[in-house]
Structure formats: C-alpha cells, structure tokens
Structure 1
C-alpha cells in the first residue's frame, strides 16, 4: 500500500502514519513544516526506507505542485490519499471567534481554504498517481458538525460550514472519478482527544485510525460518494 496523509504531524494524522508504518506500508507524510515535526522526524529515522516526509501547505498552489512532484520522484503510483489536514481557529482557547458577534472574514477564509478547498485541490493534483494505483481511494476527514441534519447549534460557524463544503466538494468529485475506477468517501472520525478536539473528547485517535484503515481496506464501488463514521455507519447529509 502506498498512502499519502496530509496533516500528518499530529493528532489523527500522526496516528495514521504510525499505524500504516507498523503494517509495513509505504507512507508519504505531509505537513506544513516537516523539519519541525519532532515525532515525524523520529519515525523517519526508524522507517527511512518506507516513510517520505513532504512539505505541504494545502492553501498554496505552489506548495501542492512541489509536493506532487516530490511524490512523483519517489513512486509511480498511490493507492490511497487521506485528506486529514484541517483547522479549527482558536480551538480550545475559550474565546468566541466562531460565535455570532465575533465572526471575521479572516477566520472564515482560512477555515474554508484549509478544510474544504485545499483537500479538493490536493485530490485533483494527485489524481494521475491515484489512477495508476491499485483501486485508488480518497478518504477525506469531515465531521458530524458538517451534517445539516445534525446541526443544532450556532457555534462553530466557520468550522461547520467548511466541513459541509468539503462534503459537497468530495461528493462532486466522487461523481466524476467513479468513472475512472476510483472511490471518494467522506469520514466523520469522531470527537477525539487531540489538540483540536480537546481533553473532554470521548475517544482516542488510535481507535479512529484503526477504524479508518479498516474502512479504507473494505471500500467498494457502490460506497463511492458516501458520508460515514469511522465505524462505517452512514452520516446524514
């Protein structure tokens, strides 16, 4: 398996990197500043033959192009892309940046660029490599907060809207790449104890990672375009 994971330097992304490496897979771990990613650097020393660290800012066209070129230099195909990179401005800080009365253009644009637009453009850029892989799959990390059906609060405005936008982008992508033999699914990884999720979250990243890896292994063409939990249960749009 040749897998590329964005947002790989911490939280769920880092856990996915670890578990794929432990399985014996080849991993491309992308983050904005890999030289500063202590855990990734440690893993690279241990798995130098199967782990490639990539610099990737999903909001930058030049950065996406450079990362894709680096992957092309190292392999002729990818089997799986996991769009995991995401932001939740001021998560856990206790301030009100995503509440009515405190909303700003800057926070809205950053959140939409990283959480929705970035994954679409990264996926687009990697399509040739995924088409060359074995049963190429794209898994994009969304959230129950992106479900219109489940949405029952105001805060967080930007995060929820960005995940709903991601869902539409990836549903649209699925409609086209299904004809290429590829599969795109959207996954709610659950509320995890990470820097983003905070200490009150209900599950460990390791559990979500195991479920996501199992899900990726078992995907079938009829599931293309679906929105599911990390345990494979349908999430309402």
Structure 2
C-alpha cells in the first residue's frame, strides 16, 4: 500500500480523491487550511482509523508548508504520491476572489491566484521532495486546467485563473526536468469540468469519475511521460 498526500482535501475533487485512495487501502495525508472544521474528513477518519491523517496546510504560507512537511515526516519516511489539488476559481467559494473581467482587473487579485494556483504547488513539491525521493517511483500529480492551455484558450475570462494555471504548467514542466533523475515522475492533469463547488452543479463530470481516472493515471505512469500534460482520461493536452 502507498502513502498519499493530497492538498485541498477537505472538499470537492480533493475529498473524492481522499475517499478513493482510502478505499484502495492506502494511507492518506489529507491537507487543508482548516482541518479542524473539515467535517467530511473527520467522518472519513473515524471510518478509516489509522489510515487517514489530517494535516494543516496553507499553500501560500511557507511556514505552514514546512510545518506540514514535518508533521508528515514524523509519521512516515516516504511519500509515494503527491496530489497538488488545492486551488481557487473566481467566485467558486467565499474565499475565492472574483472580478476577472476587463475593467475590474487588479494586481492584488492576480497575485492571489498566482500564489495559490501556481507558486503554492511548486513550494509544496519542493518541501516534500525528500520524502518523494525516498519512495520507489514516486509521482507528483498537479491538477491544472484546459483554461491554462494557450492553444485551447478562446475566451477572455477568467484572466487570472487561466494565467495561474499556465504558470503552474511551466513550473511543473520545469520541476519534471529536475526530479526525473531521482525516479520521480511529475505530470499535469486537466481533471475535466467536475461537479464540485468550483465546477458548479451544471458541470458534466461526477467527481468520482474524474478521481478514478486521475488515480489510474498515477498508477500507470512511465518515465517517458514525465513532464506531460494530459486529461483525466490520459489524452494529451496542448500547452
């Protein structure tokens, strides 16, 4: 069985990934900014005693990232999979800033999205790299978006969200080139338009389907796929 770290595990796709990894018998470190109020995670923790560990983690706070790394390192000597799932979308939650139309753009709003969606995942991967290197064929799976594809981008909004995912793609593409020598494989995944608080109720894809596809991808990766950008079904996404 494997050790899995999932960021943003308290809701949406992160919660579903946590559930499915636990169902497969894995040990999951479920990271969230406020784990004490993550009711669904606490319910899962009572169901999977000893298999689910809740970790406080704010991906925009370097001290929080280091504290989370220490928490996990105190419980295990290696990580098999890191899922960079934490992210924000304009207006998708009470803490997610909106107003991403021309005339309402601000530097502060842009930097908020870049810190959460791009810089945060990079710093998390950096912090946990030693634990990933200690595993056999560890994987870093970072959830991107078709909105971050320059080729696919055809609409104006959301400006900052799209730019932050394009930045994430570059960061993780660069990371892949460096961590590959340690046997670690890093990929970017477009999870699809998922029925979550971020995707909305009109989205076409149930979270269970997307999560199942992402887990299957992580399990079947080969070295030559390091640095790739694919859909949850494993199809290539143009950069």
TM-score range (shorter-chain normalised) is: over 0.9
1:92 deviates by 7.9
1:173 aligns with 2:164: no
**Map of 2:14 onto structure 1:** 13
**Map of 2:160 onto structure 1:** 158
**Map of 1:50 onto structure 2:** 51
1:195 aligns with 2:209: no
**Map of 1:147 onto structure 2:** 149
User: In 1, Cα distance between the equivalents of 2:85 and 2:112?
Assistant: 16
Whether the aligned pair in 2 keeps the contact of 1:55 and 1:67 (CA below 8 Å) is: yes
Gaps of at least 5 residues in structure 2 are none
Q: Which runs of 4+ in 1 moved over 2 A?
A: none
User: In 2, Cα distance between the equivalents of 1:228 and 1:96?
Assistant: 27
User: In 1, Cα distance between the equivalents of 2:61 and 2:139?
Assistant: 23
Q: So what's the TM-score if we normalise by structure 1?
A: 0.97
1:135 aligns with 2:133: no
**Map of 1:233 onto structure 2:** 235
1:48 deviates by 2.2
How many residue pairs align between the two structures?
236
User: In 1, Cα distance between the equivalents of 2:197 and 2:4?
Assistant: 24
Alignment of 1:33-182 (within 5 A): 33-91=34-92, 97-182=99-184
Gaps of at least 5 residues in structure 1 are none
Question: Deviations 1:191-234 (Å, cap 9, x if unpaired)?
Answer: 01111111111111100000000000000000000000000000
Q: Which is further off, 196-205 or 8-17?
A: 196-205
User: In 2, Cα distance between the equivalents of 1:191 and 1:99?
Assistant: 21
User: In 1, Cα distance between the equivalents of 2:133 and 2:164?
Assistant: 27
**Map of 2:185 onto structure 1:** 183
Whether the aligned pair in 1 keeps the contact of 2:90 and 2:98 (CA below 8 Å) is: no
**Equivalent position SS for 2:74:** helix
Q: So what's the TM-score if we normalise by structure 2?
A: 0.97
Alignment of 1:196-211 (within 5 A): 196-211=198-213
1:180 deviates by 1.1
User: In 2, Cα distance between the equivalents of 1:47 and 1:178?
Assistant: 33
